[in-house]
Structure 1
Amino acid sequence: MKSRYPKTWKYLSRNRDRLEDRSGVNKETWWQYGRPQNLDKFETEKLMTQVLAAESSFSIDKDGSYVFVGGGNAGGYGVVLSSSAGVSYESLLAILNSSLLEWTLQKESSQFRGGYYSYARRFIEKLPVRSWVEDCWSVLSSSWKSQQARVTRPRHPTNDDANQDIRLGASRRESASTDSLA
């Protein structure tokens, strides 16, 4: 760093004592960021949102290309799923950007001037995502099971079926035109 960025090194060296006094600083790398909280999570798949927004605007970072600053009601916020989450990033993205969860968050969130709401962690983590996912899965699962019970095997139309449909369509049109004349 000293040879590549001499002016930066000079500035940091003048402030070495202050930089070494920070909590969590390694004395051998005193010039580096002292608190690497969650820095490893930036280079992974995640959902991101701005903290202040007029509406839900979550997006997906599939390959960990984007970083953001956060804190309070400024910057951005990211969501990293645990391996046991039971939901994909794409599904969670759709849920978080849904009008239902947007409405829910805006009822609980702080409102700011200009129609902006806080999408900070303290509001996002209160959203009923897990129960909503489980409820949707339960409904879809039971719907799927009932559909499976009704269908024994797929029915492929034959030429006779197609001709029958054409004949039925013609008869319907003929009777409709006859009805309208009467």
Structure 2
Amino acid sequence: MKRWLPLEPERFVLFPYENHDGKWRPIPAVKFETSYPKAWKYLLENRKRLESRESGKMMASPVWYGYVYPKNLEVMAKPKILVPAIATNAEYCIDELGKYYYVGSGGGGGGGHAIVTDKIDLQYLCGLLNSKLLDAFLQLITTPFHSGWFAYSKAYIAQIPIKLPATAEEKKLAERIARWVREIMDAKKKLRSSALSDRETRSLQGKVETCENRINEAVFALYGVDGLPE
């Protein structure tokens, strides 16, 4: 993943579940075979490996292709903010469509964390978390590693003070932050095009930098500080 916007996926996860009234259940074998024949063929080719997981735990299961320990399936399918488990600075990004899933561990660079909420605008929240002010706060309380890396774990992220706008002026600032985040995401999407000229690339990069600077200034204003301490 990358700051603000996830990378375009190079690998895809075969997710053998379907939604039933908000609950994720394994796709029945018959339906899997008829609806997704190529995926089913792939599973059959790897059946022995899949059944042998956890010392053969899945051998007796009719859904031997399912997850051994299915957890948080309903969470990962939602729009969310993603953050790697370790990073040198804030790398929060927004998964707008709920199509990115973690498959690695939560630490040691093998995974990350998902922030799911319907109580606050994701663009606004991502703007706060990626700001210099709140990232400086997190790096003061988190675990430092070698070569400038820090832990971005749930325990530390949960301690970050999130400003919920209350006054008319604060709400205006929050709306601007959310708008600038959307502009950054739009610019980053355009930067992925190989058809851009050097001038267009510089213009979009400048747009990202300008919006980030505006977000930082707005966050300073929201929290009533003049800037980062020297």
TM-score range, shorter chain: 0.5 to 0.7
Over residues 89-115 of structure 1, what are the superposed CA-to-partner deviations in whole Å (9 max), with x where a residue is unaligned? 010011001111101100000011110
1:78 aligns with 2:105: no
Q: TM-score, normalised by structure 2?
A: 0.50
TM-score when scaled to structure 1? Answer: 0.62
* Match for residue 140 of structure 1 among 160, 169, 175: 169
User: Equivalent of 2:88, from 54, 63, 69?
Assistant: 54
CA distance in 1, matches of 2:149, 2:123: 25
In the alignment, the residues of structure 1 paired with residue 172 and residue 66 of structure 2 have an alpha-carbon distance, to the nearest angstrom, of: 55
Q: Distance in 2 between matches of 1:28 and 1:143?
A: 55
Identity between Structure 1 and Structure 2 (%): 25
SS in 1 for 2:137: helix
State the secondary structure of the residue aligned to 1:27: coil
Name the CA distance, whole Å, in 2 between partners of 1:141 and 1:128.
15
Taking only aligned residues, the RMSD between alpha carbons, in angstroms, comes to 3.1
Instruction: Provide the rounded CA distance (Å) in 1 between the counterparts of 2:77 and 2:171.
Output: 38
Cα distance, 1:143–1:97 mapped onto 2, change above 3 Å: closer
- State the secondary structure of the residue aligned to 1:40: helix
State the alpha-carbon separation in 2 of the partners of residues 120 and 44 from structure 1: 20
Shift of 1:32: 1.9
* 1:81-135 Cα deviation digits (max 9, x unpaired): 1x3x2x2001001100111110110000001111011111111011111xx224x
Tell me if the contact between 1:47 and 1:61 (Cα under 8 Å) persists in the aligned partners: yes
More moved, 94-103 vs 66-75:
66-75
The answer on whether the counterparts of 1:26 and 1:34 sit within 8 Å (CA) in structure 2 is no
For structure 2, the 5+ residue unaligned runs are 1-28, 34-39, 174-230
Distance (whole Å) between structure 2 residues aligned to residue 142 and residue 49 of structure 1: 25
In structure 2, distance between residues paired with 1:61 and 1:31: 26
* Higher relative contact order (Cα pairs below 8 Å, separated by 6+ residues): 2
Deviation at 1:143, TM superposition (A): 9.1
Q: How many residues align?
A: 133
Match of 2:14 in 1: none
Give the equivalent residue in structure 2 for 1:105: 138
TM-fit CA distance, 1:43 = 1.7
Q: Shift in Å at residue 141 of structure 1?
A: 5.4
- Checking the alignment, whether the CA contact within 8 Å between 1:47 and 1:89 is kept in structure 2 is yes
Matches within 5 A, 1:5-154: 5=42, 6-13=44-51, 15=52, 18-20=55-57, 27-68=61-102, 69-74=104-109, 75-81=111-117, 83=118, 85=119, 87-129=120-162, 132-134=163-165, 137-138=166-167, 140=169
SS in 1 for 2:147: coil
Letter in 2 for 1:140: E
1:18 is aligned with what amino acid?
A: S
Task: Show structure 1 runs of 4+ deviating over 4 A.
Answer: 141-144
User: Shift of the alpha carbon at 1:41?
Assistant: 1.5
Task: Determine the C-alpha separation between the residues in 2 that align with 1:60 and 1:113.
Answer: 27
CA distance in 1, matches of 2:53, 2:106: 26
Q: CA deviation at 1:66?
A: 1.5
Do 1:70 and 1:76's aligned partners in 2 also have CA atoms closer than 8 Å? yes
